[in-house]
Chain A
């Protein structure tokens, strides 16, 4: 089947097997390997992308279902060489270790902050429950999202814990 969609601002068209999952289409056919596969059951969230502005687990969607849609993957998040504030937050606050869950986690956080620009810690934690991380214990992911939320509101982020302790 032929599908066409906009991925990271670029129009793409390709022949796919009807059973092809969106994540496999992105990774295997478009070579956008930043979106990861962690569980194949929609639980871990490593495959999270934006489909028409909504965070979507791309292993739960067929490529043909995304026909005509506008997709943003982790590769398309930075604009004009400028990191998205969530990407910056993850770097500034040590929000990643192995990095495997990170693209999906960042995309979920972007969606969370678009819906709620000033979340509490509890709201952040609830908002990323669909994304599993095995390395960070979530502590610094929460800090990274708090950092990004401050930046996106035009405020100065709170200092890092290691700066406070030092």
Chain B
């Protein structure tokens, strides 16, 4: 597919004036006349039977309107999930609770305080049972999470290549044969990729208003997927999808945690319908870890078989991934998405097997990167371990084993997926050639000569995003479970208004990605209408064409491409109008500077207002041209996109205390063409810090009884500004061939590239002390312990 010219310019964000003035509208800001408020009664136990629930005291509290339990909502069925493997979540716990914090009853009151007070007086009699929290014990079925399922292992994803039993057998045989060759080196390491709590700074919130007269729901939700939510509500209540208007206004961060339909969203709708009043629920931070999905949570062993010359003969990853108790939207599909990049940028035979295991904990699902950070972490850690074992430069080992540039476009990875474009060696070499990289090496060597423990870590990555091709609906890439069997297409509607301004309506669900800015740039580039005259709206199912939402770094590649195509349609029609007006050929009409002119005759021109006037006064139009000036396009790419990059980190460890500082971070990313360098770099900054956060700080911790111990931000330490450095970002540009913009995606790349880079640096810093691996997060106590253990052995 031929691609458009690189845009590459920067305009200030269109979103910002409202947000810096405190005038952005978030869901918790929404007030409606007569609005009621919800608080939930939550289980203090991870596993218990519910013997009785007494709501009488709560109902007699001031301001309380209703208290609901499973008895009232059972008929609405369990919460729908797009990939429904495992046990679906009941809307309210039905006779048994399966994780701490599970909602048992819902209190509705006139104020939030009244609702929360009353929730404390709901009396629930529990009979506590043994909880299965430890992932390995759960995988071994030492006790069952769900009595009615055969096993805690819900599904096993095996790949090498994926979906090809014969190929998998051949790969396993090839690796087995390699292992018995003379002089092979085999390195193997079990590693934990710990559970994380996504922690958007805006807790989730939802307001629902059922209007009996219109037969329609008006819903505000802090969601990344407004259309899917509308579909879920419609299906649950037996309505048509167009009887549910979902708006995602400003959304205060998502990171995958808002890529889900939640029980509270359905329950608030239920309460609104029952009580004929608008109802709001805003999650508290303390509830959030047990009410909003978590991410990661894998234990796996990575093994590389290779030769002393750096040639890798096989890679195996076998392990288990924590699904939590209930399956939500994509829960078991997250490790499956990891398989897509199971072999990374490499050409060596790869065998992958991950068991998806239920535990008595909160559900896991998509968290920034969603399976791909886990996959790349294991791969790029073990490649580093192998390089050290054979005493080769980790960069040389990587380069030697990359899929060569000559295999592109559409190189097929050992795991069986065709990848659009790539040039991995060139990207790595570009990183190594930067002045900053030389500086990092010099800084490390200087520090070491002073006896300090400074380490330099390297990683490369490939990721897969921009979902996605219509043909993937069979793999769950659709909202079919919500009766919206649309593929993950992009959509965009471009309308030139009668005054010559433009309105662009898109079906994405951004949460800070700057779509109003980027889409304005895209449309301005095609039509020559100034960006200030282009309004971009999103997040409203009543207004927008069928949209899929914002996740999987898909919006620019898929919805951006659709909008680009719609703008082209508008331009083509406008060219016919202008040609008629200026008595020229449509092929000679050029659009720029707020209007159109005839090529070579800048004085023969019209403004967009004049073009629009003709469009909306059809008697002035040429024959056969319909009035109005708008177009809609749907875009389905031929493939996902496959961004890649190489990162380097410099850390210093205080070996007396185990305290580690991230001193410098350098990245060379390739996301294809770039529309706004400002926004792309901003996405990288945030993505990097989420990966660094996993490497150094964050961990969802459960005790043996299944209590989550990290439910406040004091216990779950997000990095602060003082914990991270400024970043040195560079890029190579390898345009994608699967969309007309040549763009890939950048929302998750930073996270996918960074955690192992930091851990590789830490191991480099401590290698001379005998440290070979430390499991994340590298907090002082764990680093200190690793140093002590290495000294003892």
Interface residues of A (CB under 8 A from B): 17, 19, 27, 31-41, 43-44, 46, 73-75, 77-78, 83, 87, 90-92, 94, 96-103, 106, 121, 124-126, 128-142, 160-163, 165-166
- Name the CB-closest residue of A to B20: A87
B200 at interface (Cβ–Cβ under 8 A)?
yes
Residue on A nearest B22 in the bound complex, by CB: A34
Q: How far is the CB of A78 from chain B (nearest CB, A)?
A: 6
**CB within 8 Å of A: which B1-56 residues:** 8, 10, 12-13, 15-26, 28-29, 31
Assembly CA distance A17 to B117 (angstroms): 14
* Contact B201–A97 (Cβ < 8 Å): no
**Which 4 residue pairs of A and B lie closest in terms of their CB atoms, listed nearest first?**
A34-B22, A100-B252, A98-B512, A99-B19
Interface segment among B267-275, B529-537, B710-718: the answer is: B710-718
The residue on B at minimum CB distance from A19 is B113
Known A142-B721, A160-B678; contact A99-B685, beta-carbon cutoff 8 A: no
Report how far A132 CA is from B253 CA in the complex, Å. Answer: 12
Contacting pair A46 B721 (CB below 8 A): no
- In B709-758, which residues have CB < 8 Å from any A CB? 712-714, 718, 720-722, 724, 726-727, 750
Q: Which residues of A contact B285 (CB under 8 A)?
A: 38-41, 44
* Smallest Cβ-Cβ distance to B284: which chain A residue: A40
Within 8 A of A (CB), among B439-490: none
Is B409 an interface position by the 8 A CB rule? no
- Asked if residues A33 and B22 are in contact (CB atoms below 8 Å), the reply is yes
The CA-CA distance from A103 to B202 in the complex, in Å, is: 13
Residues of B within 8 A of A101 (CB): 201, 252
Would you call B686 and A137 a contact (CB within 8 A)? yes
By CB atoms of chain B within 10 A, which of A74, A133, A137, A160 has the most? A137
14 A-B interface contacts by CB (under 8 A): A33-B25, A38-B203, A41-B714, A74-B21, A98-B253, A99-B20, A100-B253, A125-B721, A129-B720, A131-B721, A134-B201, A137-B727, A138-B720, A141-B721
B514/A35 in contact, CB under 8 A: no
Residues of A within 8 A of B722 (CB): 125-126, 129
CB-contact partner of B21 in A75, A100, A137, A163, under 8 A? A75
Check if B113 sits within 8 Å of A17, measured CB to CB. Answer: yes
Question: Is B286 in contact with chain A by the CB < 8 A criterion?
Answer: yes
Cβ–Cβ < 8 Å partners of B251 in chain A: 98
Within 8 A of A (CB), among B194-239: 199-203
A96 to B47, CA, bound (A): 41
Query: Roughly how many angstroms separate A106 CA and B16 CA in the complex, as a whole number?
Result: 13
Whether the Cβ atoms of B202 and A98 lie closer than 8 Å is yes
Complex interface: chain A residues within 8 A of B750 (CB):
137
The answer for the CA separation of A97 and B233 in the assembled complex, in Å, is 29
Q: Which of B16, B690, B713 lies in contact with A91, CB distance below 8 A?
A: B16
Q: Is B677 an interface residue (CB 8 A)?
A: yes
Q: Does B404 contact A (CB under 8 A)?
A: no
Q: Name the residue of chain A whose CB is nearest to the CB of B726.
A: A139
- CB of B197, distance to nearest CB on chain A (Å): 11
> Given A36-B252, A74-B21, do A137 and B688 touch, yes or no (CB 8 Å)?
yes
- The residue on B at minimum CB distance from A20 is B113
CB distance from B257 to the nearest CB of A (A): 10
**Is A162 in contact with B686, judged by CB distance below 8 angstroms?**
no
**Given known A-B contacts A78-B21, A162-B677, A33 and B29 have beta carbons under 8 A apart:** yes
Residues of A within 8 A of B25 (CB): 33
Within B562-611, which residues are at the interface with A (CB < 8 Å)? none
Cα distance, A150 to B682, chains bound together (Å): 22
Distance, CA A160 to CA B10, complexed state (A): 10
Which residue of A27, A39, A90, A103 contacts B712 across the interface (Cβ within 8 Å)? Answer: A39
User: CB < 8 Å: which of B21, B199, B687, B713 contacts A87?
Assistant: B21
Contact B681 A136 (CB under 8 A): no
- Asked whether A98 lies within 8 Å of B250 as measured between CB atoms, the reply is yes
CA distance A32 to B22 in the complex (A): 8
Alpha-carbon gap, A124 to B726, bound state (A): 12
Contact status B284-A100, CB under 8 Å: no
Complex Cα spacing A11 to B533, Å: 39
Q: Among the interface residues B512, B514, B677, B724, which one has the most CB atoms of the partner chain A within 10 A? A: B512
> Roughly how many angstroms separate A74 CA and B250 CA in the complex, as a whole number?
17
11 extra interface residue pairs, beta carbon distance < 8 Å, beyond A35-B22, A125-B720: A17-B113, A39-B285, A41-B713, A44-B285, A90-B20, A94-B678, A99-B18, A100-B253, A121-B726, A124-B721, A132-B718
Contact check, B250 vs A99: say whether CB atoms are below 8 A apart: yes
**Distance to closest chain A CB from B207 (angstroms):** 13
Is residue B679 within 8 Å, beta carbon to beta carbon, of the partner chain? Answer: yes
Residue contact A98 to B22, C-beta cutoff 8 Å: no
Q: Inside 8 A of B727's CB, which chain A residues have their CB?
A: 137, 139
Contact A140 B677 (CB under 8 A): no
Assess A43 versus B20: contact at CB under 8 Å? Given A125-B721, A125-B722, A166-B677. Answer: no
| Residue B376 lies at the interface, judged by CB distance under 8 Å to chain A | no
CA–CA, A95 to B264, complex, Å? 32
CB distance from A37 to the nearest CB of B (A): 7
A136 touches B201 (CB 8 A): no
Partner of B201, one of A98, A138, A140, A160: A98
User: Are A91's CB and B20's CB within 8 A?
Assistant: yes
Say if the beta carbon of B689 comes within 8 Å of chain A. Answer: yes
B248-262 vs A, CB cutoff 8 Å, 1 = contact: the mask equals 001111110000000
B13 A94 Cβ-Cβ under 8 A? yes
CB <8 Å contact, B12 and A91: yes
**Inter-subunit contact A73/B22 (CB<8 Å):** yes
Q: Which residue of A lies closest to B17 (CB)?
A: A91
Expressed in whole angstroms, the Cα–Cα distance for A166 and B677 within the complex equals 9
Q: Which residues of A lie under 8 Å from residue B151 when comparing CB positions?
A: none
A84 to chain B, nearest CB (A): 9
Contacts of A83 in B (CB 8 A): 20-21
Instruction: Give CA–CA (A92, B199) in the complex, Å.
Output: 27
Question: Which residue, B21, B22, B250, has most C-beta atoms of chain A within 10 A?
Answer: B22
B712 touches A41 (CB 8 A): yes
Note all chain A residues with C-beta closer than 8 A to B201: 36, 38, 44, 46, 98, 100-101, 132-134
- CB nearest to A97 among chain B residues: B512
Enumerate chain B residues within 8 angstroms of A124, measured Cβ to Cβ: 721
Give A52 Cβ to nearest chain B Cβ, in Å. 20
Nearest Cβ distance between residue A144 and chain B, in whole angstroms? Answer: 10
Q: Which of B8, B24, B29, B113 has the most CB of A within 10 A?
A: B24
B327 at the interface (CB under 8 A from A): no
* A134 and B253 in contact, given A98-B201, A99-B512, A125-B721 (Cβ under 8 angstroms): yes
Which residues of B (271-311) have their CB < 8 Å from a CB of A? 284-286
What is the CA–CA distance of A43 and B15 in the complex, to the nearest angstrom?
26
- Output the least CB separation between A28 and chain B (Å): 9
- Nearest CB in chain A: distance from B149 CB, A: 35
Whether A136 and B28, one on each chain, are in contact in the complex, defined by CB atoms closer than 8 angstroms, is no
A100 touches B686 (CB 8 A): no
Q: Roughly how many angstroms separate A90 CA and B682 CA in the complex, as a whole number? A: 13
- B511 contacts partner chain A, Cβ-Cβ < 8 Å: yes
**A residues near B15, Cβ cutoff 8 Å:** 99
Q: How far is the CA of A61 from the CA of B201 in the complex (A)?
A: 20
Q: A96-B16, A97-B513 are in contact. Are A134 and B718 (CB under 8 A)?
A: yes
Minimum CB distance partner of A100 in chain B:
B252
* A38-B285, A41-B713 as given contacts; A136 in contact with B682, CB under 8 Å: yes
